Structure 1
Amino acid sequence: MAHMLLPDDVLSYHDDVFYDLVRDKCGIVVEEMFQLQNIRSVQPLLRINDVVDFINYDSAELTALKKMVGFELQNGKFQIKAGIRFDVDTFIEALRNVNDKLLQPMSTDHQRDDLTISQEFLVKHPLLKTVIEFYLTKDNNDNGSNLSFLTVLIDNIIQNLALPKNAYRYNERVQKFAMSLYILAGRNAYEFVRMNIPGAIPAVSTIQLSLDREESQIIEGFFASLPNMALSDRDDAFEVSVPVNWT
């Protein structure tokens, strides 16, 4: 499949900006096809299994759209034009590549290992001084393993804050933490954490897309026991320990 170049911030496109991009990359016919289906942004497009599946629906309201993007066969059915299918598939594949790149774990390599920081600079940026003191304490702490995820999270946040928002990257462990937080706490709590700790966890749409691509069917923040089903016996089940006073 041909490679299509897209802007780095394409995942945030919606409405007119999104349609302008579609028209530029795929043509006016595909743009109108998306508009008629009320596909207004990148994320909903990526969550649709087959954007041309409407061709199989028996509806008079879709006849005009079908004629625009396909050929009518003698049996009354329609066949999507090869060029339309190619443009749409190439466009969606390029969007998925951008999204996958966003989800790639960050590299922890540093270009320099001889960096010297002046005392004046530390005074000017007390947060940096606190972070350095934290890492010095961690190195001398026997419980360093208990802080391993915390250090990963802090490192991830600091690296992200040095980048534009559309270039944020998330460590693999942070991604797993974010998915667990979304599942256990629900969307509202997840959004609250993300809003108050910039650069810490991915957007909700990114988490939902990851779950969809894994074909995970999860109800956020829902826990139950069923009398006729031993959920704890399933290989894919997990147990959550809660304080005694919660029961």
Structure 2
Amino acid sequence: MNKKDVYDVSVLPDNIFTLKGEEFFHAIRSLVGEVICNILQIQMIDSAQNFLNTVDVFEIFKYDSEEIDNIKTKSCFKMRNGEYIIRTGVLNNMTYLKTILKKKIEEQHSFTNDLQKERYYELIDQNSMLQSLIDWYSQNQFTNNYSNKKHLFVSSFIDTITKNIVKSKQGYRYDDSVKDFALVLYILGGKQCYDFIRINIIGALPNLTTINKLISNADSILTEGQFRFAALKEYLDTVNVRFGFCAEDCTGVIKKVKYDVTTNSFIGFVTKLSNGVPIRDCYQTDSFEQLTFWFDNIEKASLLNIHMFQPIPQSNQANAPASFLISAYGVDSTSTAIDIINRWIYLFNNCIQNQIRIIGFSTGKIFASKFSS
């Protein structure tokens, strides 16, 4: 008989690990005899798991107790000096019992793993999408670094969806690349477009509350009439550029007044100018009468005036850096050519103070008409 046959786990009941108490002792008694059963019973080792967790089942023989004298006599040789030596057959049976139980666990785990693998193979065979994903990951696993970087976002996007769809909504998680994509989609596509895509691709994109938090944390909220010279300098440092063109133009907007909680002011009125330069937070008030007066006497802005800076790349740079939004504020069509020139002087001087050089200005049709007139 070979070793494999000695430890034939088929001699154990299939439910051996669920048996407890007398049912467990009955199975042990039929397998390795009464003596082993008595050693386990007196220690209340009444289940297979309990037995496997016991470090030394023979430790009780070290103690001098009348309760174990009978078991000790049957299990051990008593030496003339009073010491007890465990019989070889008892040792072998206990080793056999522990070994065969461990092998039973291994067999059950192996069976479970085989069932799991079989189930996975069936799922793959029945789902063309899974087959395509496996093929895609297999192809990109051994491609060069450029290709890996090229497909990095796609991998993150797929991973995000597959991990989130098996969780509750409260457990959804998104990595940085997916968050960046979500922000760009929200900004370019707008709220309705973003929410439509998010609802239809479950688990792919964070909700609108998370998007608003990301925008707030990014410290990229514009304050009406503020010129972001420090932020422009920081941006140009990252792209290693110091020269550029500045552009000013208007776009039509729906007339609307809103309260800006970050500045405790009302935005949407025509921004007041000082030498052509917008005055920040000029509509701050805690007075309802003052607010009523503004609504009755101040025009709501029909145009949004913006200032952009377009960096000029150095000769060793292949692509031009993206343009940068310096300022935005509500206006009407009453600005004069002097206002525009004063703003350009203000922009030029502040950029010089931040080691930025404007080499030219451009304007749209609305402002161009001011000069021609």
**Larger helix percent:** 1
Pick the TM interval, shorter chain: 0.3 to 0.5
**Larger strand percent:** 2
Largest Rg, 1 or 2: 2
Ranked by relative contact order (alpha carbons within 8 Å, sequence separation 6 or more), the top structure is: 1
